[in-house]
């Protein structure tokens, strides 16, 4: 600071009052700039990815080797059946992190800085949601990689396999508006985690993730049949293994649209109210 003189940066006049922002697509541009911020944060704190990378490993090992023989007669058959389900479960759990992160972020004060800038109010939120896509891709790749090492093989073709992965990522992206909404409503990051686990756990266990739905009692089957997780898992299974797809992809996309249509406006409203 000793070098401080009057040679301070001259006023560039980039932002004069008479010229309200003329450049188009502001929400998109600003959201992307803020998504990059989330990305840098993910990159800088790789330990934050441990939960989502370790979870599929543990679940696959425990379920395949402990229950595989009993449930499916062979561990390899069960691995083929289970992996798409574990992918769906992990990616849905991975979506919780955004709620936790947002809650901490807002408590720290950078959102006040964002709000004092001439950017769309929702840009920081949209940016954070978009930035998490990278996390979902990492989850997908690491789950498939560990599955591959354990002996999982894709029975269809690369295009359908990629379509399955993209569907899972899209599902997480749309679902993430729910944890965002929860993070605006509860006070602490821990509470976000608690509420979200209570919501995600029934979705992933009362589904076709671990076992086929036909052995379940009727009332539970009714729930399993509408559970968005069931549709996602059936879609990914179909795209990875060639099992019948039915209307599952359409149902999954409908659920995705539903998540965005319901939770995004609620989350944005709660966000405007909160800060």
Partner 1 sequence: MTADLVIEAEGLVKTFGKTRALQGVDLAVPRGTVLGVLGPNGAGKTTAVRILSTLLTPDGGTARISGFDVVRDAERVRQSIGLTGQYASVDEDLTGRQNLELFGTLLDLGRAGARRRAAELLDWFDLTDAANRPAKTYSGGMRRRLDLAASLVGSPDVIFLDEPTTGLDPAKREDMWDVVRTLVNNGSTVLLTTQYLEEADALADAITVIDHGRVIAHDTPEGLKRVVGGQTLEVRPSDPAQLPRTAEILTQVGSGAQADEIRKGVLAVPVTDDAALTESVARFATAGIAVTELSLHLPSLDEVFFTLTGRTASEDDTTRPTEVAA
Give the C-alpha distances (Å, rounded to integers) separating 70 from 74, 211, 240.
8, 11, 23
Q: Shortest gap between Cβ of 26 and partner 1 (angstroms)? A: 8
Of the pair 101, 235, the CB lying nearest partner 1 is at 101
Count of residues that interact with partner 1, criterion CB under 8 A: 41
Give the x/- contact pattern for partner 1 in 198-217, rule: CB under 8 A. Answer: --------------------
Q: Find the part of the chain contacting partner 1 (CB under 8 A) among 71-79, 112-120, 128-136, 188-196.
A: 112-120
Residue 260 CA: distances (Å) to CA of 193, 217, 254? 20, 31, 10
Applying CB under 8 A, among 28, 61, 62, 117 the residue interacting with partner 1 is: 117
Please identify, using beta-carbon distances, which residue of 21 and 215 lies nearer to partner 1: 21
- Contacts (CB under 8 A) with partner 1, residues 6-65: 6, 8-15, 17, 20-21, 23, 26, 29-30, 33-34, 36-37, 40-41, 44-45
Among residues 60, 82, 110, 138, the one that binds partner 1 under rule CB under 8 A: 110
Q: Answer for the pair 172, 255: CB distance below 8 angstroms, yes or no.
A: no
CA distances (Å), 235 to each of 61, 167, 217, 228, 260, in order?
Answer: 23, 8, 23, 11, 20
SS3 percent helix, strand, coil of the chain, rounded to 5, is: 75, 0, 25
Q: Tell me which of 63, 78, 81, 114 binds partner 1, using CB under 8 A.
A: 114
Distance (Å, rounded) from C-alpha 177 to C-alpha 258?
11
* Residue (118 or 158) nearer to partner 1, CB: 118
* Residue 192 beta carbon to partner 1: minimum distance, rounded to whole angstroms: 19
Q: Are 36 and 133 in contact (CB under 8 A)?
A: no
Phi, psi of 187, deg, nearest 5: -85, -40
């Amino acid at each position: 600071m000793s070098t401080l003189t009057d040679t301070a940066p001259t006023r560039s006049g980039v932002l004069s009052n008479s010229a309200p922002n003329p450049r188009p697509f502001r929400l998109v541009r600003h959201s992307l700039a803020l998504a990059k911020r989330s990305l840098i944060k993910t990159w800088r704190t790789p330990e934050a990815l441990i939960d989502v990378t370790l979870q599929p490993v543990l679940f696959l090992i425990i379920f395949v080797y402990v229950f595989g023989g009993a449930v499916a007669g062979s561990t390899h058959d069960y691995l083929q059946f289970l992996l798409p389900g574990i992918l769906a479960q992990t990616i849905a759990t991975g979506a919780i992190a955004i709620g936790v992160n947002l809650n901490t972020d807002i408590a720290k004060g950078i959102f006040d800085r964002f709000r004092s800038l001439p950017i769309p109010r929702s840009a920081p939120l949209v940016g954070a949601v978009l930035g998490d896509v990278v996390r979902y891709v990492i989850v997908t790749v690491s789950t498939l990689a560990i599955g591959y090492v354990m002996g999982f093989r894709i029975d269809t073709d690369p295009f359908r396999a990629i379509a399955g992965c993209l569907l899972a990522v899209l599902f997480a992206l749309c679902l993430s508006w729910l944890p965002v909404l929860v993070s605006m409503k509860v006070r602490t990051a821990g509470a976000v985690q608690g509420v979200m686990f209570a919501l995600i756990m029934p979705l992933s266990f009362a589904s076709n993730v671990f076992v086929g739905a036909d052995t379940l009692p009727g009332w539970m089957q009714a729930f399993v049949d509408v559970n968005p997780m069931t549709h996602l898992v059936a879609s990914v299974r179909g795209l990875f293994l060639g099992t019948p797809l039915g209307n599952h992809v359409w149902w999954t996309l409908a659920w995705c649209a539903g998540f965005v249509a319901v939770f995004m406006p609620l989350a944005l409203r709660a966000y405007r109210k909160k800060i």
